[in-house]
A and B are shown apart, each in its own frame.
Chain A
Amino acid sequence: MKYYFLALGTLVVVCVGCAADGQQVIDKGNYHAPPAAMMQRPGPMVDGPGPGVLQMLAPPPASAFAARKSQVRFVGPAGMKVGWQVPEGYAENQITAPGRYNFNQGATYRLKLSNIPGRSIPALYPSLQVYPSHPTTDAYLTHNSIPLEITPEDLDQVESNNFVTKVIYLPDEKFQELAIAGVETLVSTRLDPGVDPVAEADRRGTIMAVMRMGNMDLEMPSGNPGNEKVSQVSYDGDAGAHMPPMPIPGNMIGVSTGVPVPSMVGGMGAPGQPAYNPIAGMGPTPAWGMTSTGTPIGLPGPPHLPLGGPASLKSHTIRNRSKVNLPKPVDHFLVDVKQNPAPSLPKPVKYVQYSETHPVHSPGQVSYPRTMAPGPGY
């Protein structure tokens, strides 16, 4: 009987060993591709091989067609003049509604609305915040303008000393009522008290532009003759003098203008610069693997990439024979400063845990058109 159970146990071990090869315990055997939004962007692992082995006749990166400027269409009221802030002051009458202008994305502009038909308001100075394009709005912004209309209700609210925020966004599919994609506008004055129109629009879709308007006169004399600026230059669009708008700084550290900066604009973040997404292959960012440093010994780039042939130049020496008499730099320099009372701040955050969960799609669950399906080449 002992041998019987011994043989049976051996059989169990062999069968289980054949069925489960150990991968199920140690390695689950699943390979997870990056999420779809990330795969739409070029970069390591997701956009084919590096430039050294890229196919000939391959089309340019998809970002070549991405909208870097948003076209804002001032729908009305018809006849209203639109100007904007420029370095020397305000450029007047640059556009007459209905009209349109291409604004750099990822910047905030100070507009000047004047000659509003039927109103005695001398001028309004709203801020226009143009959001950078997003994968969900790229196709729309490439083909459509952003409609911006100042309605009589908005003007009534502003004249009543109220603050109007208009958010223009592209709703998600589940919030779209019509079959054809179109933008929607949320106005703060039509929402319940306490509801943030920007947050609400962000929940419903992707924001493309935000306009904030009050009745503050930004060209009022300050009353102090010594501080008043006299502009020697004026730009009147009616006289043919056009000037591109100057982006205004937002709520940077130490500077408060009441205008928040657009979210998620990478790079230098300087006002006036176009939207810059620091993703390899996108915009000014070079594609992944491209050489960025010229070396004087013939190596064309980073040594880990298969670019070019072997180095031909083996040595490169430059010797400086000039007789110079320069004092040695100071090796220790001491400055004692003391601030009283000294700053005392709470301890900074030293640990943040951030985790993302993405859906997992195995090869049998993903469907591409035939031309995009992974497989043998043409």
Chain B
Amino acid sequence: MTIFKHQNRSRLLTMLLMAMIAFAIELPSAWSQQMVGGRKYNSGNQFYHPLNQRTPPGVAGQWAAISGQVQAGYIQPMQVSLPSKGVVTFYAGSVDRKIQKASPAPIGFSVGYVYRIKISGMPEFPGVELYPTIELIDRLHPPAGLAETYPVPVSLNPEDIELALSGRMVTKVVYLERPQTAVPAKFERQPTLAITAKKNLIAEADLLGRPMAIIRMGGRLPSTRGDDPAFFGSGAPVVELKNNRTQN
């Protein structure tokens, strides 16, 4: 009888110790899971996005260049389109070296830089001049020799221009659609999705595809008294494209 009691007690003790061993083995992973999901700002499996539409101009491009994920300095063909007609002015290195093109205007921008451009001569907005910026944060990978045929399209709508003229700031992110979710249709105009200010524009674009460029437009004009070199940026390289062969 005594031996039987001893055996029961030792079994109970063994089970208890085995449970402690199992708990000790599972402890680190359980603890780390609690760290992952246990914070309020990250509840609901939401990611933290360091970049958003309020990030100062140039930061996203700089991060892209430093990360090494994109070929910094690569000349990416772009195409800037206005509502109907108009003139797009690019600044090649300085304010004095202008390149003027009729809309849709092809141009080559370097990845990782911010460019100031001028749009003017729009028949819908007579006398209006605006100075949006384009921050190029990624590049396309077209077949060899067809880079100019597939530029990154930058389209400015009449609604964007009206909002900028009313004193507001318009921020657009051009992204390359995911092939799996892209709509297999040809659009007359570049399709645009509008989101609320409370959402993160870059994160939304990253969700839908690959962010290529950030376009910001407001009503600020260059100073009329003296030079205003800071307004036009750092003098990033601009390459004038001779061919206007585009395929969207």
A and B: bona fide binding partners = yes
Residues of A near any B CB (own CB < 8 A):
1, 4-5, 8, 11-12, 15-16, 18-20, 24, 36, 39-40, 47-48, 55-69, 71, 73, 100-102, 135-136, 138-145, 147, 173-174, 176, 178-183, 242, 244, 359-362, 364-378
**B50–A368 contact, CB under 8 A?**
yes
Shortest CB-to-CB span from A213 to chain B, Å, is 21
The interface residues of chain B lying within 8 Å CB-to-CB of A242 are 225
The interface residues of chain A lying within 8 Å CB-to-CB of B63 are 368, 371-372
Residues of B near any A CB (own CB < 8 A):
6, 10, 13-14, 17, 20-21, 24-25, 27-28, 31, 35-36, 39, 41-42, 47-51, 53-73, 110, 112-114, 131-133, 137-138, 163, 167-171, 194-198, 202-203, 205-206, 210-211, 216-221, 223, 225, 228, 230, 233-234, 236
The interface residues of chain A lying within 8 Å CB-to-CB of B67 are 368, 371-375
The interface residues of chain B lying within 8 Å CB-to-CB of A55 are 65-66, 68, 72
- Cross-chain contact of B56 among A66, A180, A364 (Cβ < 8 A): A66
Q: Which residue of B is nearest A136, CB measured?
A: B54
**B48–A61 contact, CB under 8 A?**
no
Q: Which residue of B is nearest A68, CB measured?
A: B230
**A58–B65 contact, CB under 8 A?**
yes
> Are A48 and B197 also in contact (CB < 8 A) when A143-B217, A359-B41, A372-B51 are?
no
The interface residues of chain A lying within 8 Å CB-to-CB of B57 are 62, 65-66, 138-139, 142
- Cross-chain contact of B133 among A64, A142, A360, A362 (Cβ < 8 A): A142
- In the complex, what distance in Å separates the CA atom of A143 from the CA atom of B164? 9
**B62–A61 contact, CB under 8 A?**
yes
**B220–A142 contact, CB under 8 A?**
yes
- In the complex, what distance in Å separates the CA atom of A359 from the CA atom of B61? 25
> Are A372 and B60 also in contact (CB < 8 A) when A147-B167, A362-B35 are?
yes
- Cross-chain contact of A179 among B55, B195, B221 (Cβ < 8 A): B195
**B219–A370 contact, CB under 8 A?**
no
12 A-B contacts (beta carbon < 8 Å): A40-B50, A62-B57, A65-B114, A136-B54, A139-B57, A142-B133, A143-B219, A179-B197, A180-B163, A361-B42, A369-B137, A377-B69
Shortest CB-to-CB span from B204 to chain A, Å, is 11
**A369–B211 contact, CB under 8 A?**
yes
The interface residues of chain A lying within 8 Å CB-to-CB of B42 are 359, 361, 365
The interface residues of chain A lying within 8 Å CB-to-CB of B31 are 24
**B72–A135 contact, CB under 8 A?**
no
**A179–B58 contact, CB under 8 A?**
no
- In the complex, what distance in Å separates the CA atom of A15 from the CA atom of B24? 8
- In the complex, what distance in Å separates the CA atom of A109 from the CA atom of B21? 72
**B66–A58 contact, CB under 8 A?**
yes
**A59–B53 contact, CB under 8 A?**
no
The interface residues of chain A lying within 8 Å CB-to-CB of B72 are 55, 57-59
> Known pairs A58-B65, A179-B196. 16 more at Cβ < 8 A?
A48-B66, A57-B73, A59-B58, A60-B113, A60-B236, A143-B131, A174-B198, A180-B163, A181-B54, A181-B197, A182-B169, A366-B50, A368-B206, A369-B64, A369-B205, A370-B210
Candidate in A57, A174, A361, A371 with the most chain B CB atoms within 10 angstroms? A371
Shortest CB-to-CB span from A105 to chain B, Å, is 11
Shortest CB-to-CB span from A199 to chain B, Å, is 22
Shortest CB-to-CB span from B130 to chain A, Å, is 9
- Cross-chain contact of B230 among A56, A60, A69, A368 (Cβ < 8 A): A69
Q: Which residue of A is nearest B138, CB measured?
A: A371
> Are A40 and B219 also in contact (CB < 8 A) when A59-B62, A60-B234, A179-B197 are?
no
**A19–B28 contact, CB under 8 A?**
yes
The interface residues of chain A lying within 8 Å CB-to-CB of B56 are 40, 62-63, 65-66, 135, 138-139, 142
- In the complex, what distance in Å separates the CA atom of A57 from the CA atom of B73? 6
**B69–A378 contact, CB under 8 A?**
yes
Candidate in A71, A362, A364 with the most chain B CB atoms within 10 angstroms? A71
**A139–B234 contact, CB under 8 A?**
no
> Are A377 and B68 also in contact (CB < 8 A) when A57-B73, A366-B47 are?
yes
- In the complex, what distance in Å separates the CA atom of A18 from the CA atom of B22? 12
Q: Which residue of B is nearest A75, CB measured?
A: B167
The interface residues of chain A lying within 8 Å CB-to-CB of B68 are 55, 375-378
The interface residues of chain B lying within 8 Å CB-to-CB of A16 are 21, 24
**A143–B169 contact, CB under 8 A?**
yes
The interface residues of chain B lying within 8 Å CB-to-CB of A64 are 58, 233-234
**B223–A102 contact, CB under 8 A?**
yes
The interface residues of chain B lying within 8 Å CB-to-CB of A377 are 68-69
- In the complex, what distance in Å separates the CA atom of A168 from the CA atom of B158? 27
Q: Which residue of B is nearest A244, CB measured?
A: B225
- Cross-chain contact of B169 among A36, A48, A140, A147 (Cβ < 8 A): A140
